[in-house]
Chain A
Amino acid sequence: MLVGAPILLVLIFTACFSSFLAPADPIKIDTKNILKGPSRLHPFGTDQIGRDILSRVIYGSRVSLSVAGAAVFFATLIGVPIGLLASYIGGRFENILMRVIDVFVCLPEIFVAIVAMAFLEHSLRTLIFTIGLLYFPQFARVTYSVASSIKTKDYILSAVTLGAGGPRIVFREILPNMASVIIVQISFTMSFAMLLEAGLSFLGLGVMPPQPSWGQMAGTLKDFIFINPLLVVFPSVALFLAVFAINMIGDWLQDWLNPEIVR
């Protein structure tokens, strides 16, 4: 937490105020200064067509955070209701629904993402929906299993005997009791989503140039590793720090939000 939170805060800050923080225009081409190392004018150097890498890294935080955030939001929005529904309705419906979810879980992430990005309209929206679709089954599963265990608790029965109806049981009794689990799941999925976006962009299937993204920058700059090996390090380190920070926060949340621990 002590390490993760400041990094994430800085990241969110840079994402929000990219246009003020970036020293140069991230898509401005300068053919006279290509693949230059760090200098006063370009602290992180310039890429193969002379764009300022620091500015691109700063703007890249925007893409990374927003794609991961939106994808996880989307996954939560679909996954959690499905899990609750399956657990609450039960019976055959539960079985069919969860088996369908199992099929989704089996899909290989990168492969599906490649296919989706190759055949569908190539845009940020497609990227977000694809990543969201890949991660919603995990939300459904986690929600389902925790809800099923909460469902058998005595306080649920006592709520029923006090006259609570179905929606009240689900939204006022079960859901609040699993909020911590969902929050932890969100934070971990966030870092997975960020890595997947970077991976796809690295392969040239995610965020399209000239829009900067850390994965895509690393993918491009790796080709020039023998000319200037330092350049590829900057976007990679940014990605590493972001994922590391989110994971740290996830770990900390998991310890802190454990429902058995005293508030």
Chain B
Amino acid sequence: MKTETPLLQVEDLHTVFYTDAGVVKAVNGVEFALDQKQILGLVGESGCGKTVTGLSILGLIPQPPGRIERGHIVFEGTDLLTFSEKDMRSIRGNRIAMIFQEPMTSLNPIFTVGYQIREVLHIHRRVSKQEAKGLTVEMLQNVGLPDPAKRMHEYPHQMSGGMRQRVMIAMALCCSPRLIIADEPTTALDVTIQAQILELIHRLKENTGTAILLITHDLGVIAEMADTVAVMYTGSIVEHAPCDDLFDTPCHPYTLGLIHSIPKIDQPLSETKRLQTIAGVVPSLLDLPAGCSFQERCIHVTTKCRLNPPFFYVSDTHRVRCWLHER
């Protein structure tokens, strides 16, 4: 079945937190679309609203203090924000699943991993015990856990981080969700395991055709995995482009800064022998400056930056929120 509407469309999403210190605008007009079988990478530094965007999609913003002020999250043609908590529960884990950063603590320590996977199957699919057992072995096999029939009787503490992350992925996948939100899925793992897990996610995407929203701060992971990339800064997307375009012709000064701050294997360092950094600090989300939020750290800043830049299209698929690209 071919449809014109994308699987997930986030429009003008505003998520804020009311704290004692003031109103924190964690997500500030995020918009993107995600098709089936696509991986969208959401990059940005800590506190730029990546995770809050992911949690907003699943309706997991703690309310209060959080609140989704404006926007739409259209998933398979319906706006998730109009759903009741009960309806959301049948979406979570079933249609949209999430993989977390910390595999070490994201599994319940007192149940076997097999039991935990069976429970998800039981909630969403209402399968018989015998079937669930078979499916569990199959799922663990799919995520490359060695000897799944035996391993499913183990407790989380008996497994390594990489194995636990595989179990988490198996849990996320066991109802064949249409969308997986992977929140820094490899951050807590060491590098060789990271590569394996990324490979696994990639393979599973090819096999099942789920879309993946990959949240990370690691541009290397993005370059490896993503089809399109959205760079976030202070709660909004500043640049959104196909992965190759973004790395070949980064347009936003912030994206440039991020790419320059990574050591390159084929380029010698400049004469100062230092990596370039982005000067200044991220402005507080409590008190964002009027206009472009990157203006205080930007080397190309002009008076025009006092106004909030709209998206300018560098090409059909490459858009950037910066006055430098006004045409």
A177 B109 Cβ-Cβ under 8 A: yes
Contact with A along B121-141 (1 / 0, CB 8 A): 001100000000000000000
Given contacts A157-B60, A259-B110, contact A163 B124 (CB under 8 A): yes
Name the distance in Å between B97's Cβ and chain A's nearest Cβ.
Answer: 7
Looking at the complex, which of B27-35, B37-45, B88-96, B301-309 is the stretch in contact with chain A? Answer: B88-96
Q: CA A259 – CA B108 in complex, angstroms?
A: 11
Residue ID in chain B nearest A156 by CB atoms: B108
Q: Which of B89, B102, B157, B168 contacts A163 (CB 8 A)?
A: B89
Whether, in the assembled complex, A160 has its beta carbon less than 8 Å from a beta carbon of chain B, the answer is yes
Q: CA A50 – CA B86 in complex, angstroms?
A: 70
Residues of chain B with a CB closer than 8 A to A157's CB:
60, 100, 106
Residues of chain A with a CB closer than 8 A to B48's CB:
none
Whether, in the assembled complex, B171 has its beta carbon less than 8 Å from a beta carbon of chain A, the answer is yes
Contact with B along A114-135 (1 / 0, CB 8 A): 0000000000000000000000
Whether, in the assembled complex, B107 has its beta carbon less than 8 Å from a beta carbon of chain A, the answer is yes
Residues of chain B with a CB closer than 8 A to A164's CB:
89, 93, 123
Q: CA A84 – CA B93 in complex, angstroms?
A: 25
Residues of chain A with a CB closer than 8 A to B108's CB:
155, 159, 173, 176-177
Residues of chain B with a CB closer than 8 A to A158's CB:
98, 100, 106-107, 168, 171
A160 B107 Cβ-Cβ under 8 A: no
Whether, in the assembled complex, A172 has its beta carbon less than 8 Å from a beta carbon of chain B, the answer is yes
Which residues 136-167 of A sit at the B interface, judged by CB distance below 8 A?
153-155, 157-165
Residues of chain A with a CB closer than 8 A to B107's CB:
155, 158
Whether, in the assembled complex, B105 has its beta carbon less than 8 Å from a beta carbon of chain A, the answer is yes
Name the distance in Å between A234's Cβ and chain B's nearest Cβ.
Answer: 44
B60 A153 Cβ-Cβ under 8 A: no
A155 B171 Cβ-Cβ under 8 A: no
Given contacts A154-B102, A157-B60, A263-B155, contact A162 B109 (CB under 8 A): no
Whether, in the assembled complex, A262 has its beta carbon less than 8 Å from a beta carbon of chain B, the answer is yes
Q: Is the interface of A mostly helix, strand, loop or mixed?
A: helix
Residues of chain A with a CB closer than 8 A to B123's CB:
162-164, 168
Name the distance in Å between B73's Cβ and chain A's nearest Cβ.
Answer: 15
Question: How large, as a class, is the contact surface on chain A?
Answer: 20 to 34
A163 B105 Cβ-Cβ under 8 A: no
Name the distance in Å between A236's Cβ and chain B's nearest Cβ.
Answer: 41
A154 B111 Cβ-Cβ under 8 A: no
Q: CA A162 – CA B92 in complex, angstroms?
A: 5
B106 A165 Cβ-Cβ under 8 A: no
Residues of chain B with a CB closer than 8 A to A161's CB:
58, 60, 92-93, 97-98, 100
B111 A163 Cβ-Cβ under 8 A: no
B91 A155 Cβ-Cβ under 8 A: no
B106 A162 Cβ-Cβ under 8 A: no
Whether, in the assembled complex, B286 has its beta carbon less than 8 Å from a beta carbon of chain A, the answer is no
A155 B90 Cβ-Cβ under 8 A: no
Residue ID in chain B nearest A263 by CB atoms: B155
B92 A153 Cβ-Cβ under 8 A: no
Q: CA A153 – CA B109 in complex, angstroms?
A: 11
A262 B106 Cβ-Cβ under 8 A: no
Residues of chain A with a CB closer than 8 A to B89's CB:
163-165
Q: CA A225 – CA B98 in complex, angstroms?
A: 73
Whether, in the assembled complex, B227 has its beta carbon less than 8 Å from a beta carbon of chain A, the answer is no
Residues of chain B with a CB closer than 8 A to A259's CB:
109-110
Residues of chain A with a CB closer than 8 A to B102's CB:
154
Q: Which of A155, A160, A173 contacts B105 (CB 8 A)?
A: A155
Whether, in the assembled complex, B296 has its beta carbon less than 8 Å from a beta carbon of chain A, the answer is no
A163 B60 Cβ-Cβ under 8 A: no
Q: CA A165 – CA B119 in complex, angstroms?
A: 12
Residue ID in chain B nearest A261 by CB atoms: B157
Question: Which of A163, A164, A173: most chain B CB closer than 10 A?
Answer: A163
Residue ID in chain B nearest A178 by CB atoms: B110
Q: CA A251 – CA B92 in complex, angstroms?
A: 42
Between A and B, 7 residue pairs with Cβ closer than 8 Å are: A154-B102, A158-B171, A159-B108, A162-B93, A163-B94, A168-B123, A177-B110
Chain A residues engaging chain B, CB cutoff 8 angstroms: 153-155, 157-165, 168, 172-173, 176-177, 259, 262-263
Q: A157-B100, A157-B106, A163-B90 provided; 15 other pairs, C-beta below 8 A?
A: A154-B105, A155-B106, A155-B107, A155-B109, A158-B106, A158-B168, A161-B100, A162-B93, A162-B172, A163-B91, A172-B119, A176-B111, A177-B108, A177-B110, A263-B155
